[in-house]
Structure 1
Amino acid sequence: MWFSKSKDDVTKELNVNPSTGLTTQEAKARLEKYGLNKLKGKPKKSLISLFFAQLKDMLIYVLLAAAVITIFIGEYVDSIIILLVVLINAVIGVVQEAKAEKAVEALQKMTTPKSLVRRDGEVKEINSEEVVPGDIVILDAGRFIPADLRLLESANLQIEESALTGESVPSNKDADDIHEDPKTPIGDKSNMAFMSTLVTYGRGEGIVVATAMETEIGTIAKILDEDNDELTPLQKRLEELGKVLGYLCIGICVLIFGIALLQGRDLFEMFLTAISLAVAAIPEGLAAIVAIVLALGVTRMSKINAIVKKLPAVETLGSVNIICSDKTGTLTQNKMTVVKNYTIGNLKDVSVTGENLTPSTDEAELIRSLVLCSDATYENGEGTGDPTEIALVVLGDKYNMKKSDLNTKHKRVSENPFDSDRKLMSTLNVEGSGYRVHTKGAIDNLLKISTTALVDGKVVPLTENLKSDLLTKTEEMSDGALRVLGVAYKDTTSMIAPEDMEKDLTVIGIVGMIDPPRLEVKDSIKEAKLAGITPIMITGDHKNTAVAIAKELGIAESIEQSLTGAEIDELSDEEFSDKINNYRVFARVSPEHKVKIVRAFKAHGNIVSMTGDGVNDAPSLKYADIGVAMGITGTDVAKGASDMILTDDNFTTIVNAIEEGRNIYNNIKKSVIFLLSCNLGEVITVLLSIIFKWPIPLTATQLLWINLITDALPAIALGVDPGDKDVMKKKPRNPKESFFAGGAGVRAVIGGVLIGSLTLLAFYFGLTERGYLFGAGDPTEEQLLYARTMAFVVLAGSQLFYSLSVRNSSKSIFKIGLFSNMKLIGAIIVGFILQEVVISIPVLANAFNVHNLPLNDWAIVLGFALIPLIVNEIIKFIMKIREEKEEANSN
């Protein structure tokens, strides 16, 4: 804890004389001991190991088994398709995992290339990688910090640390400070400078106390480098489904083969049928369909400015119920803005946008002094310098008091630079035939050196009442989380020394400024809340400032809903986890705190999204279920650790992405329920025929063909179904629920039973239509051929029609629009065309043991095929009436 030690103690412990620095020989020895000042990552996995890691999944095992079975029964086309599905999914997984490794690589790039150090009594420029503990580093404005330093000297030193702390204002540094509290937050360690932060003002010297992975940035790199291979909800559901289907297909084979053995049927025929049915029971197209649906979802999301790096993240977004958002640059504009000014007796809100505004007399003097007493520039929408001073120059632009014009008219001839002890800055500018001192800084310090005040254009004595008035307004602005600056002036007929500038001043007034919230975020947060999503602010900024922004945006209602990093440290993990739901704002937090917060929310079963743009956000971006980085202001580190990148840095895009994620999950669920209903129908058809000692209604090739045409196009078309307009009016999905929650399992069973029963009914109708009497021996070949054709067409047709009803679990197909998904209509038409081709072309008809049907038979099979769709729509109608009655009774 170098920040708690004096400068002398630090130099003695590191055995170095600050006036001469390390010797070249000592620096070389320390470089060998501590290694290069370079961030390290864990060894990369080879592409081969990454590839085989993708195959360690139950559903993949089932698919590979299905491929072997199809090869065994001679269905080589199906086996090739299955193997291609496995290969494509493995390749996608390898690509996504390789991208994740870029996070630490981006951190490595952030280390600075050159540094100024004192060695052998001379100041030298060396590669930052060669900096070692004990090196004396020279700091000046515009230079990056090469390692973690304990400051030895500081003169008006300010360092931009927003990447680590989240604060938009540079931190003032003082080498003489000592912080005895071991839990002092990074943002409050005023005697330290940290690797990869930027000096924005002043100068200083520091001694290197940590390099490479021992730095604060290195700590973040270690967190990023830890393995965190937790499955997404979608992956968990698919793994669970794969296990169920794997056991199911084995049971089907054993059951059917066992019954056939007892009945004395042809064992080879029943073996092929059992194997074919087992293959049909596994929706081998499921993995490909899910991948296709997710990929298409990624394409759609890119059009709304959300770039998804990992396909499962699309679905996970749909179950997000906690959005942890960094404040600076994400919820706010990341630029200080003057929102209020006060001249005695006149408080004005200046947060309005626009140009050529007209100031009052006193207000014009206040703005003129603030602009002239600033070193920042602002041209063409771009500012340079201290963010606070940029805000003052922008304020001048609003009132057509441009800094360039004022500098030309009132040339600066002397100054007294800002000092952290005085907390004031003064300039001496030409004013007519004489000069004027312009001073800005802490209002209480200004009042001590002022004797008069400007009131309605007149200089009057500074009375105690006027002082009290200014201090009261200052306190009100501070309570509103505004940063307050006072301004004063005095006229002089001649040049005066800097030390004489700040005497006998005339107070003009004060300004209050803040990093304001993004204009569109408030509506987005309201929409998120309506969708059952809780927004959380996590920031390194001060508590009052954070709560003020949170109140304005609707995130929090009172300061009691906030907690600081220091207060988090006082709680045990269990206590913090128990109380986590009471808070909406976390302020003055470190990277470790952010991870702790995310983990605490996840411990309650929440699906957590974390947004951010700085290096300090990277660990929490990785540990969150969905890490969302900002594309414009985001660092490479944040982007590398995230699952999704917002190209417009707009919080609203997150809400749109969540809506898209919910619809994508619903579409995947539709595809799964549809596939299982169809496959269950096939199982019921064969199983019941064996139990009833009927002839087998479908051959192995017919089962595989139907499985092919119904598992492909209709299921994919359901996967790209237009989104439900009411999806954001519902609460987030429970991440623990299965695909079969909400009555989906019952619907799948009902659909499967209807499809299987009607296929058997069609088979029965076909046999009796051709004069077959059950129990009177085996049917003739012609009778069996006709009956199987009827069953073949009904099984395929009922599945194709049933896909229309699966589009929505509660709304009728007419309410959602019969033709609102033309891809599904196209898939149904193509499916019937393929059926017609198979039964009408002699070569194919012979291969599949079917024949062409006359027109009147087509009318019969279409009637049978429509029944599952009609029954399901009737069930929806009955359920709707029941829900309306229950709602009426409750009211």
Structure 2
Amino acid sequence: MGQESLQARRELSLHKVRQTSSATHCNGLYCRMDDSNQQLWHHLPLPEVLAQLDTDGNGLSAGEAQERLTRVGSNDLPVPPPPAFWRLMMRQFKSPLIYVLLAAALLSLAVGHLADASFIAAVLLINALIGSIQEFHAHHSAMALRNLMVTRAQVLRNGEFQELDASQLVPGDLIKLTSGDRVPADLRLIDTQGLEIDESFLTGESLPVQKDGQLLLQAEVAVPEMTNLAFAGSLITSGRGQGIVTATGLATEMGRLSLTLESTDTATPPLLQRIERFSKKLTLILLVFMAVLALVEFARHTPPLTVFMTVVALAVSAIPEALPVALTMVLSVSMRRMVKRHVVVRKLVAVESLGSCTVIAADKTGTLTQNRLTASDAVFFDGDSFQVTGNNQPPDGQCQPEHGELTREQAARLRRLARVAALCNEAELRQLADCSWHSSGDMVDQALLAFAHKCGVQRNTLKTKYPLLSQLQYEPARGFAATLHRDDDSALICVKGALEVLLPMCDRMAVGDGEQPLDPDLAQATMQNLAAKGVRVLALAEGARPAAHNAALEELQGLCLLGLIAMMDPLRPEAINAVNTCQEAGIKVCMLTGDHPETALSIARKLHLAGPADVAVTGGDLTRAAASGKAEVDRLTARTRVYARVAPEQKMTIVQSLMRQGEIVAVTGDGINDAPALNAAHVGIAMGKRGTDVAKEAADLILTDDNFASVVDGIEQGRIAYQNIRKVVFFLVSTGVAEIFLFTLTTTFGLPLPLSAVQLLWLNLVTGSIQTVGLALEPGEENAMHTPPRPPRESLFNRLMIQRVITSGVVMGTVGFLAFSWLLAQGWEESDARNSLLLLMVLFENIQVFNSRSENRSVFRQSLLSNPVLLMGTAVALGLHIVAMYLPVMQTTLGVYPVGVHQWTALLPLALSVLVAMEIILPFTRK
């Protein structure tokens, strides 16, 4: 199905939506979906919005949501279906070389050479069939990839927030929005806290729009001015909010926009562009050769039709016109292998790019660690230290001093600290009916709630005693979070964040017998001793204000610094081995984290990324270096592998610096602020579980398990892909060079044309299609991760490739020429000599495919059973030629016939000469 059928499908989907809208118009549901009865959601007061959507703002039940989903359909847009197979077939004929072959077939038909014309037509049909099948599978692979990349949304169902696929949303659902998310449907905002949304895809405005759910706008307002609405597909750049779904699928503004869009061609990846440029240069050289060959044959009075047919066939055989398709096949195979290794490939060429990377800039949290923060220690500045046992399940564990029993005074200090931890918190922790515990929200907040519960402090009780008045959510640029609570006739301020951020806000600190003036040096020393254990350290502070100062959260001063809470995020068990594998492969791994330098270094040493004398480069170091110029930044990044207290936007600085030094950089990220670095790096890798939609769209690859070991697996597959690309290129180009050299020698020495046009076409079909599939499926060599990355500026056609191509091409061409000339000298007829030569060339190229399996390993050290597809393909290729020699119709068309045992025994040793030659030069090329 093509564009017409896609448009018809969209219209049908929109018609279904409108039918649903019309059917439910009586109760007000989904009126937004019908252009003729469009509700002005931005103009309606919130109670009327809720009434129109038949919801009370407390979310829908699962049953009601399912009933609405059945009526209105899923929240997605019609996906362009794969092109019809016949369209793919027709696309294979759009090539100048194919046009030449068609002309040759028509000319043969015109002069009565029916056999030649039929064979050329059969060749074209089979080539088109092979290309169509490959493209058909590529389209279905793309569809499977799309299904892996599902947008998730926080939805209030049955009174609880749940993470659901965005496709399951229905009008009336209550959605929670956070910074970095993509809006999953059209929403009427009901609560906004610093919410800013990028709507550039819809309005063309590059600046984010500040949203306010409390506004009531005029009826006649343009879309860019609807500041109390959020539109599907837009990106939340900062803040938080909640909204009621008003439209889904095609009824959204994005859905309406999609109906007007026309499909556009995808840009060719850089790797394929380079290959195509090479093919064009090779084509030009060959055309010159063909012209010379034609002139020589005309001068020798060779029939014009024979000259034309031979030149065309030789051009088609020698030019690797199937190379781009073969490369796409190699990358597609690697893409499917990488999906099995938890790596989703969004851009096909990124497969090869990942295999070429020399540096990986990896996030610590969740990638190198398990992203399961658990409070491990609570430390006060007068020396009191408490161990927190267990995990994030409150009944499991307790908070006890390192020595002795817990005193009443110590318990009171812990409860004061735990009060701040529980109040300045956005996570949820509740006990379920089966007595198990369920937590949701930010990992730090979950750990803090569990810590508070172990200290005997429960958030639900605190929320009743200290009602929330206002709050500042945590943002990376801010470095802290704060809440303001009513405390009888006064206000209680609770703050959490990095110690260096909180110190300027405090003028005193808590001690065992009360409070004392702040000692910044003592606080820093306490924090450094704690961070040296490799834990994440969070400082907590509180303060009291008169009720008249309830809004004073922007300028926090005069607080009391209470203490520190250490949280551990254990390393992933496989992370150490994965880092070691990278180092063995010559890949430099850099760790980036927002943690304290001592914490970062402690973890880096466990990962063998840093030694005892190494130091971490901090975000402050980068800022100061940037002020001195790029050279100073490059000096910093060249000597370190550990970056601590790094702001997300500084990742871009690190990536650009490494790229200036000639590195091929792969970078991991999960936040909206990581998007520029993901986009700028050679390979951007987003986290599939915790990554924001913005990060995923900016990335080339997505890790479905957020695991660094998966990156290493992807690198291995990328290197295997590059190896297989070189194998395919070597095979196609070397066999083409052999044919060119053969014809050059016969023309130079005045011999007849060694092969006819149809024989060349047959040779090209047998050797140029079947074996390349087998080479694309090569499992990879053992040394894939035991050699350094290839030089960034190295060409695909480097000296090694040229040496091997020339050697094998000259050997096959020369031996073929000598055999052909000897047969003619012995009095053989030209047809008989060509029959033997064609068999020899088939044998040559079936042996050459095994020479193509490795550039530095002997054929005799490679198991034939490791790639059964290649073995089977080679057998099929040879079998087809043998069958052709016995079929009368093929005998007539190709001019072939069976040969005796003595010819087989003579030709096989000659064919093995190319194997011997490649084995002889192997020690030299290996060096």
> Which band: TM-score by shorter chain?
0.5 to 0.7
Shift of 1:228: 14
Q: Which residue of 2 aligns with 1:700?
A: 757
Checking the alignment, whether the CA contact within 8 Å between 2:509 and 2:519 is kept in structure 1 is no
Q: Which residue of 2 aligns with 1:524?
A: 578
Unmatched segments (≥5 aa) in structure 2? 1-41, 45-78, 109-116, 152-165, 167-179, 193-198, 216-222, 228-233, 243-263, 431-435, 473-479, 543-549, 551-559
Report the AA paired with residue 476 of structure 1.
N
Shift of 1:238: 0.8
Q: Distance in 1 between matches of 2:319 and 2:905?
A: 31
Q: Which residue of 2 aligns with 1:610?
A: 667
Query: In the alignment, is residue 787 of structure 1 matched against residue 824 of structure 2?
Result: no
Shift of 1:303: 0.8
Residue of structure 2 aligned with 1:281, choices 307, 311, 318 = 318
Deviations 1:317-367, CA, capped at 9 Å, x for gaps: 211223334455445555654343347667577698695578442398366
Q: Which residue of 1 aligns with 2:286?
A: 249
Shift of 1:648: 0.9
Q: Which residue of 1 aligns with 2:907?
A: 861
Q: Distance in 1 between matches of 2:652 and 2:104?
A: 47
Mapping for residues 198-213 of structure 1, pairs under 5 Å: 198=240
Q: Distance in 1 between matches of 2:688 and 2:622?
A: 27
Deviations 1:838-877, CA, capped at 9 Å, x for gaps: 1122221121112211122111111211221122123225
Q: Which residue of 2 aligns with 1:383?
A: 439
Report the AA paired with residue 327 of structure 2.
V
Checking the alignment, whether the CA contact within 8 Å between 2:595 and 2:644 is kept in structure 1 is no
Q: Secondary structure at the match of 2:866?
A: coil
Query: In the alignment, is residue 672 of structure 1 matched against residue 725 of structure 2?
Result: no
Q: Distance in 1 between matches of 2:300 and 2:521?
A: 103
Deviations 1:509-549, CA, capped at 9 Å, x for gaps: 75333666655444433332332323345667788876776
Checking the alignment, whether the CA contact within 8 Å between 2:530 and 2:566 is kept in structure 1 is yes
Q: Distance in 2 between matches of 1:541 and 1:469?
A: 20
Checking the alignment, whether the CA contact within 8 Å between 2:677 and 2:684 is kept in structure 1 is yes
Q: Secondary structure at the match of 1:260?
A: helix
After TM superposition, the structure 1 stretch with the greater mean CA deviation from structure 2, 679-688 or 638-647, is 638-647
Report the AA paired with residue 690 of structure 1.
T
Checking the alignment, whether the CA contact within 8 Å between 1:332 and 1:517 is kept in structure 2 is yes
Tell me: CA distance 1:750–1:567, structure 2 relative to 1, closer, same or farther (3 Å). Answer: same
Q: Secondary structure at the match of 2:702?
A: strand
Q: Distance in 2 between matches of 1:385 and 1:108?
A: 18
Residue of structure 1 aligned with 2:529, choices 473, 476, 481 = 476
Shift of 1:275: 1.6
Report the AA paired with residue 648 of structure 1.
D
Mapping for residues 59-78 of structure 1, pairs under 5 Å: 74=117, 75-78=120-123
Query: In the alignment, is residue 262 of structure 1 matched against residue 299 of structure 2?
Result: yes
Deviations 1:673-715, CA, capped at 9 Å, x for gaps: 0111111111111221111111222111111101111111112
Q: Which residue of 2 aligns with 1:190?
A: none
Tell me: CA distance 1:671–1:698, structure 2 relative to 1, closer, same or farther (3 Å). Answer: same
Q: Which residue of 1 aligns with 2:345?
A: 308
* TM-score, normalization by structure 2: 0.64
Report the AA paired with residue 647 of structure 1.
T
Checking the alignment, whether the CA contact within 8 Å between 2:508 and 2:518 is kept in structure 1 is no
Tell me: CA distance 1:71–1:395, structure 2 relative to 1, closer, same or farther (3 Å). Answer: farther
Checking the alignment, whether the CA contact within 8 Å between 2:619 and 2:647 is kept in structure 1 is no
Shift of 1:407: 8.4
Q: Distance in 2 between matches of 1:518 and 1:701?
A: 60
| Count of equivalent residues | 714
Residue of structure 2 aligned with 1:559, choices 611, 616, 619 = 616
Q: Which residue of 2 aligns with 1:835?
A: 881
Q: Which residue of 2 aligns with 1:534?
A: 588
After TM superposition, the structure 1 stretch with the greater mean CA deviation from structure 2, 544-553 or 706-715, is 544-553
Q: Distance in 2 between matches of 1:649 and 1:677?
A: 42
Report the AA paired with residue 187 of structure 2.
P
Q: Which residue of 1 aligns with 2:161?
A: none
Checking the alignment, whether the CA contact within 8 Å between 2:237 and 2:672 is kept in structure 1 is no
Report the AA paired with residue 729 of structure 1.
H
Tell me: CA distance 1:331–1:284, structure 2 relative to 1, closer, same or farther (3 Å). Answer: same
Q: Which residue of 1 aligns with 2:812?
A: 755
After TM superposition, the structure 1 stretch with the greater mean CA deviation from structure 2, 230-239 or 827-836, is 230-239
Q: Which residue of 1 aligns with 2:17?
A: none
Tell me: CA distance 1:708–1:475, structure 2 relative to 1, closer, same or farther (3 Å). Answer: closer
Report the AA paired with residue 815 of structure 2.
L
Query: In the alignment, is residue 362 of structure 1 matched against residue 406 of structure 2?
Result: yes
Q: Distance in 2 between matches of 1:440 and 1:628?
A: 34
Q: Distance in 2 between matches of 1:466 and 1:599?
A: 40
* TM-score, normalization by structure 1: 0.66
Q: Which residue of 1 aligns with 2:686?
A: 629
Checking the alignment, whether the CA contact within 8 Å between 1:565 and 1:586 is kept in structure 2 is no
Q: Distance in 2 between matches of 1:641 and 1:467?
A: 41
Shift of 1:833: 1.0
Q: Distance in 1 between matches of 2:674 and 2:450?
A: 30
Deviations 1:211-246, CA, capped at 9 Å, x for gaps: xxxxxxxxxxxxxxxx99996452243123212221
Shift of 1:483: 2.9
Tell me: CA distance 1:198–1:853, structure 2 relative to 1, closer, same or farther (3 Å). Answer: same
Tell me: CA distance 1:698–1:853, structure 2 relative to 1, closer, same or farther (3 Å). Answer: same
Report the AA paired with residue 378 of structure 1.
L
Shift of 1:313: 1.9
Shift of 1:580: 5.7
Tell me: CA distance 1:568–1:229, structure 2 relative to 1, closer, same or farther (3 Å). Answer: farther
Q: Which residue of 2 aligns with 1:766?
A: 823
Q: Distance in 2 between matches of 1:362 and 1:414?
A: 27
Report the AA paired with residue 269 of structure 1.
T
Checking the alignment, whether the CA contact within 8 Å between 1:372 and 1:407 is kept in structure 2 is no
Q: Which residue of 1 aligns with 2:794?
A: 737
Q: Secondary structure at the match of 2:912?
A: helix
Shift of 1:634: 2.1
Q: Which residue of 2 aligns with 1:815?
A: 861
Q: Which residue of 2 aligns with 1:392?
A: 448
Checking the alignment, whether the CA contact within 8 Å between 2:689 and 2:706 is kept in structure 1 is yes
After TM superposition, the structure 1 stretch with the greater mean CA deviation from structure 2, 86-95 or 383-392, is 86-95
Q: Distance in 1 between matches of 2:335 and 2:660?
A: 29
Tell me: CA distance 1:80–1:679, structure 2 relative to 1, closer, same or farther (3 Å). Answer: same
Unmatched segments (≥5 aa) in structure 1? 1-22, 26-43, 119-126, 140-145, 151-162, 165-193, 201-226, 429-436, 454-459, 489-497, 499-505, 773-778, 884-891
Checking the alignment, whether the CA contact within 8 Å between 2:371 and 2:443 is kept in structure 1 is no
Q: Distance in 1 between matches of 2:297 and 2:850?
A: 36
Checking the alignment, whether the CA contact within 8 Å between 1:522 and 1:553 is kept in structure 2 is yes
Q: Which residue of 2 aligns with 1:3?
A: none
Q: Distance in 2 between matches of 1:331 and 1:137?
A: 39
Deviations 1:369-395, CA, capped at 9 Å, x for gaps: 655662454355743467545323334
Shift of 1:570: 3.1
Mapping for residues 92-131 of structure 1, pairs under 5 Å: 109=183, 113-115=187-189
Checking the alignment, whether the CA contact within 8 Å between 2:191 and 2:241 is kept in structure 1 is no
Q: Which residue of 2 aligns with 1:727?
A: 784
Checking the alignment, whether the CA contact within 8 Å between 2:338 and 2:344 is kept in structure 1 is yes
Tell me: CA distance 1:113–1:261, structure 2 relative to 1, closer, same or farther (3 Å). Answer: same
Shift of 1:306: 1.1
Report the AA paired with residue 741 of structure 1.
N
Checking the alignment, whether the CA contact within 8 Å between 2:742 and 2:817 is kept in structure 1 is yes
Q: Which residue of 1 aligns with 2:775?
A: 718
Tell me: CA distance 1:395–1:270, structure 2 relative to 1, closer, same or farther (3 Å). Answer: same
Q: Distance in 1 between matches of 2:514 and 2:675?
A: 55
Q: Percent identity?
A: 26
Checking the alignment, whether the CA contact within 8 Å between 2:272 and 2:324 is kept in structure 1 is no
Checking the alignment, whether the CA contact within 8 Å between 1:789 and 1:851 is kept in structure 2 is yes
Q: Secondary structure at the match of 2:691?
A: coil
Q: Distance in 1 between matches of 2:836 and 2:419?
A: 91
Tell me: CA distance 1:447–1:362, structure 2 relative to 1, closer, same or farther (3 Å). Answer: farther
